Structure 1
Amino acid sequence: MANKLDPMDLKQIITLHLDGYSNRKIASTLSISRNTVNTYMQLFTASEYSLEQLLSFEALQLSELFSSVTLVDTQRHNELMLYFETVNKARNHPGFTFLYHYNQYAETAKNPYGYTQFMEHYNRKYKQERGSMKLEHEPGKEMYIDFAGKKLSYVDKHTGEIIPVEVFVSILPNSQYTYVEACASQKKEDLIQCCINALHFYGGVPLAIVSDNLKSAVSRSSKYEAQINRSFKDFASHYGCVVNPTRAYAPQDKALVENAVQLVYQRIYYPIREMTFFSLEELNQEIQTKLIKYNQLLFQRKEASRVELFQSVERQYLKNLPSSNYQIKDYKRAKVQKIGYVYFSPDKSYYSVPYRYIGHQTTIHYTNTTIEVYYNHLRIALHKRSALKGSYNTIKDHLSSTHQYYTSWSPEFFKKQAQLHGDNVVKCVERILDDVQYPEIGYKRVIGVIQLHKSYGSDRLEKACELALKENIVTYTQIKNILHHKMDLNQETIQQLNADTPHIPSHTNIRGASSYQ
């Protein structure tokens, strides 16, 4: 049975009433229910004593007068107040909601308050007033994107290291249909891939993508005309939409997506805060599970969820996805070398271009699978990207050793240069050129061999080439190592190579072939 209100509380109610406090303000001041104050004030008024007389009574006398009133369960109330301490400590955690904590309270309490009373008791101590403005958004017009300010993480199961990850959030403002994905970084490659995944999640393309002034999307921010980086423009062009960054120093432009981020904290971050993940894939699987539930939640003042509004209204206004999947493209500048190749620095490899562009500056457009070389916006070469580091990738029609650009660079030219330093140097040059499919590929290698005479002299280069030929290790690196380690100056090594006798010395413990008959 509930306990009656303490007589001292009754005196406090009377005192505050005489001081001009309203019943609501009395309830807030004493942290008790307004209905309780209303009931007691009705009892005071109905009694045969004035308020001043009641105030002068002893506590025992007041208790006897109102002994039949049992409105407040002190134990129940104290239990709630103690739980509020836990709730208040979690207020600053991303994703905090009162509903989440109320559900936990209702599951554990023997006689829980309803949600309305739960919030009323809490707001007596922690009162907040917020204003809002409703904005109307045309369906299918925009997709807002941003990265959440708070990161998630997973544990590397091999090292135990905690790996922080970024969280990408996109929203269609009309239906508020939301997409969330964890990714490794905010770099443009990750941003573009997340946008691609978001568009495929929605199954269509809006007219514009509205981004914050992210470095991965905007080359130079401006309040009126920001510059979009080339890769992001190329992505938008492929999907037939435009990129419209928010204005710098105008936080109201991104209020919608930031509100979506706050809801993501509540519906996704908070429920998974105590879970441990061992890969980015595991984390994204859990995010998608929570995201489905989030998009299916009914709006408080609408009889529909985000996904229902999207399917019934906004989906039809989105443009169709292109038939081919977009591949993230990036760009590099490169000068065509004299041998007719451009150097692709990310892979440290070479790709051929038509010989007439030798000496010209070009732009390399590359994806994970292709290499395109452009000169003045004209594509002059297309290659399949090679995964082999340091490789030479050649289209035969690009090379022409008989052309005037190659009159000085030819196999005969390099043999004549090698002849100045000895016959063995010539043989090494011939061997290097014979080992490549196209002589142009070997030109830089034989130049490196011939140039070694500047550091070590022609005589040592000749001896080093002789050793390389006898050991069948004719490469620029091996010849350089012979000279560096002075192996060409070791007479014993040279004699062993010149002799026909085996390099293993005679010994009594060594058995001959007769021992194995």
Structure 2
Amino acid sequence: MPMAPISMRKLKEILRLKYGCLLSHRKIAKSLSVSASIVSIYAIRATSLGITSWPLDEKWNDETLQRAFFKTKPKSKGYIIPNWSVVQQELRPKTMTLQLLWEEYGERYPEGFYSYNHFCRLYKTWLTCQKPSMRQNHKAGEKLFVDYCGPTMNIVDSTTGECRTAQVFVAVMGASNYTFAEATFSQKLEDWVMSHARCFEFLGGVPELVIPDNLKSAVTKACRYEPDLNPTYQQLAAHYDTVIVPARPYKPKDKSKAEVGVQIVERWIMARLRKESFFSLRQLNLKIQTLLTDLNQRQMKKHPGSRLSQFEAIDKPALKPLPSQPYRYTLVKQVKVHIDYHIEIEKHYYSVPHALIKKKLEAHATGQLVTLYHQGVQVAVHPRSYRVGGHSTLDIHMPIAHQKQQQWTPERFESWARKFGKSTEQFVIQLMQTKKHPEQSYRACMGILSLGKKFTDKRLEAACYRALATGVTRVNQVKAILEKGLDSQPLPEKQLDLLSEIDHQNIRGNHYYH
């Protein structure tokens, strides 16, 4: 190993920074403007000379350093090549580094080991020669790859004979290849999210990262650099304290584990079930669980042990614990407040404070409650309703005028009118009966009852009595009776209809002119 010429000052500085400041070779090289390989050469030479601390012993003056480093040719070594597949396996735990493996390698072969930089270069070169599925270095408990199989399974309705398809969800741990699979009726948001929750229960823990494809249930807006996650999916990640990192569009290597896992499930589970008939989703999933257990316990060809043994040794100890509270599916949706101060969720309408009209809110809908937030502040809570076209309205959300109108009912108007007298009550009932819907006469009823404040209760009762007797039906006519004082006048005598007993087509009688 030829020693590159450097000054005595830089040689001492290399030794000081390495043993006194404990800096890495790269940081030393950057500080002294030399290459990292030169630092490695002098560090290895120092180790062979027994120099392992700073400051140096008294025997190491400039003359002895000059002779030891620049005038003495080191003996050639027979370098030992590490077993790179073992190195890759050792790197899977999160705490393991190449630096530590290189140091252990140097301790095992002190007379023939590569420098750290050369060790790293050889390892990377070996990685490039492996199959694409082996290039990614998956840390223990770090990544869970998720996707759906392309083929579907058939479920037959035993009563109607109708055939319904089921999707197969697949999840694979990156380091151990431990696999989870289950069938759902769709790839819609709720099925997608709840499959994740059941997968975490199956694993008994939570990985650091979840790598999905860019399907609509996972990503609202696909983008190579900043994909926009579905808010419901994001809330699942927050509940389990994990991170969603969608694969880049058109980059299958980002989710290669999922691609291989899907292929294995299709070949070793779905292909075996192709000739069987299933009459419920539960029946299908029980069969999948049986075959999945066999798949995870089968000996792997390119790795030691089975998927299960690898998972228990590598991934499981590194998984985060499950949260104390179980996950409940929550639909998270951005909604806009309509001009009637209601928002819509699955064709049912829920009220919010009227001051938020035309504002955008975030709705969280569980199976029991609908909670609405504006800028992170809770503004309304309603019991969940599935009545299509129905309204859930709270009085406190209405404007004052609407609150009062909401309190109007036919029974209430009749009760108000009864306080003035029987004639007033009968006239109000008559007003409401003239309309197809009682609500259409509420304003007229309010107009009649307001006359009591202006003309006294007694006069209003007398005016309504006269109106009923004379066939008056309009509010303005009752008001005219009061203004003209007719309420205190005797009723006109009923005139006899002398022609009523004559039956002739040219004789109409008094009633014709009313």
Q: TM-score, normalised by structure 2?
A: 0.52
Contact 1:206 1:241 in 2 (8 A): yes
Partner of 2:438: 429
Per the alignment, in what secondary structure is the counterpart of residue 134 of structure 2?
coil
Contact 1:332 1:365 in 2 (8 A): no
Per the alignment, in what secondary structure is the counterpart of residue 236 of structure 1?
helix
CA, structure 1 residues 258+427, in 2 after alignment: closer, same or farther (shift >3 Å)?
A: closer
Matching of residue 342 in structure 1 with residue 342 in structure 2:
yes
Contact 1:145 1:170 in 2 (8 A): yes
Partner of 1:186: 187
Contact 2:350 2:393 in 1 (8 A): yes
CA, structure 1 residues 374+289, in 2 after alignment: closer, same or farther (shift >3 Å)?
A: same
- Per-residue deviation at 1:208? 0.9
| Whole-Å separation in 2 of the counterparts to 1:292 and 1:298 | 12
The Cα offsets for residues 128-186 of structure 1, whole Å up to 9 and x where unpaired, read as xx966523310111100011112121212122222222111100011111000111112
| Whole-Å separation in 2 of the counterparts to 1:304 and 1:432 | 83
| Whole-Å separation in 1 of the counterparts to 2:259 and 2:165 | 21
CA, structure 1 residues 160+346, in 2 after alignment: closer, same or farther (shift >3 Å)?
A: same
Letter aligned with residue 166 of structure 1? Q
Q: Map of 1:21-32 to 2, 5 A cutoff?
A: none
Partner of 1:262: 263
Partner of 1:368: 367
Q: Map of 1:20-419 to 2, 5 A cutoff?
A: 134-135=134-135, 136-326=137-327, 327-335=329-337, 338=340, 342-348=342-348, 350-354=349-353, 356-357=355-356, 360-389=359-388, 391-393=390-392, 398=396, 403=400, 406=403, 411=408
Per the alignment, in what secondary structure is the counterpart of residue 138 of structure 1?
coil
- Per-residue deviation at 1:234? 1.5
Per the alignment, in what secondary structure is the counterpart of residue 422 of structure 1?
helix
- Per-residue deviation at 1:273? 1.7
Contact 1:415 1:426 in 2 (8 A): no
- Per-residue deviation at 1:379? 1.2
Per the alignment, in what secondary structure is the counterpart of residue 319 of structure 1?
coil
CA, structure 1 residues 426+281, in 2 after alignment: closer, same or farther (shift >3 Å)?
A: same
CA, structure 1 residues 430+254, in 2 after alignment: closer, same or farther (shift >3 Å)?
A: closer
- Per-residue deviation at 1:315? 0.7
CA, structure 1 residues 254+215, in 2 after alignment: closer, same or farther (shift >3 Å)?
A: same
- What percentage of aligned pairs have identical amino acids? 31
Where do 5+ consecutive residues of structure 2 fail to align?
A: 1-129, 415-426, 443-472, 474-514
- Per-residue deviation at 1:277? 0.7
| Whole-Å separation in 2 of the counterparts to 1:259 and 1:409 | 62
Contact 1:192 1:328 in 2 (8 A): no
| Whole-Å separation in 2 of the counterparts to 1:291 and 1:305 | 13
Letter aligned with residue 324 of structure 1? Q
Letter aligned with residue 380 of structure 2? A
Letter aligned with residue 254 of structure 2? D
Per the alignment, in what secondary structure is the counterpart of residue 134 of structure 1?
helix
Q: Map of 1:441-460 to 2, 5 A cutoff?
A: none
Letter aligned with residue 329 of structure 1? L
CA, structure 1 residues 428+141, in 2 after alignment: closer, same or farther (shift >3 Å)?
A: same
Contact 2:209 2:242 in 1 (8 A): yes
Contact 2:153 2:167 in 1 (8 A): yes
| Whole-Å separation in 1 of the counterparts to 2:368 and 2:432 | 44
Where do 5+ consecutive residues of structure 1 fail to align?
A: 1-129, 434-461, 463-517
- Per-residue deviation at 1:223? 2.3
Contact 1:217 1:232 in 2 (8 A): yes
CA, structure 1 residues 360+429, in 2 after alignment: closer, same or farther (shift >3 Å)?
A: farther
Letter aligned with residue 344 of structure 1? E
Per the alignment, in what secondary structure is the counterpart of residue 308 of structure 1?
helix
- Per-residue deviation at 1:422? 3.1
| Whole-Å separation in 2 of the counterparts to 1:364 and 1:199 | 26
| Whole-Å separation in 1 of the counterparts to 2:160 and 2:208 | 45
Partner of 2:481: none
CA, structure 1 residues 415+425, in 2 after alignment: closer, same or farther (shift >3 Å)?
A: farther
Letter aligned with residue 159 of structure 1? T
CA, structure 1 residues 244+343, in 2 after alignment: closer, same or farther (shift >3 Å)?
A: closer
Contact 1:330 1:367 in 2 (8 A): no
Contact 1:419 1:425 in 2 (8 A): no
Letter aligned with residue 431 of structure 2? G
Contact 1:365 1:372 in 2 (8 A): yes
CA, structure 1 residues 295+234, in 2 after alignment: closer, same or farther (shift >3 Å)?
A: same
| Whole-Å separation in 2 of the counterparts to 1:167 and 1:347 | 29
| Whole-Å separation in 2 of the counterparts to 1:362 and 1:432 | 37
Per the alignment, in what secondary structure is the counterpart of residue 368 of structure 1?
coil
Contact 2:346 2:386 in 1 (8 A): no
Per the alignment, in what secondary structure is the counterpart of residue 383 of structure 1?
strand
| Whole-Å separation in 1 of the counterparts to 2:153 and 2:267 | 14
- Per-residue deviation at 1:425? 4.5
Partner of 2:467: none
Letter aligned with residue 422 of structure 1? L
Alpha-carbon RMSD across the aligned residues, in angstroms, is 3.5
| Whole-Å separation in 2 of the counterparts to 1:366 and 1:298 | 45
The Cα offsets for residues 188-212 of structure 1, whole Å up to 9 and x where unpaired, read as 2211111111111111111111011
Q: TM-score, normalised by structure 1?
A: 0.52
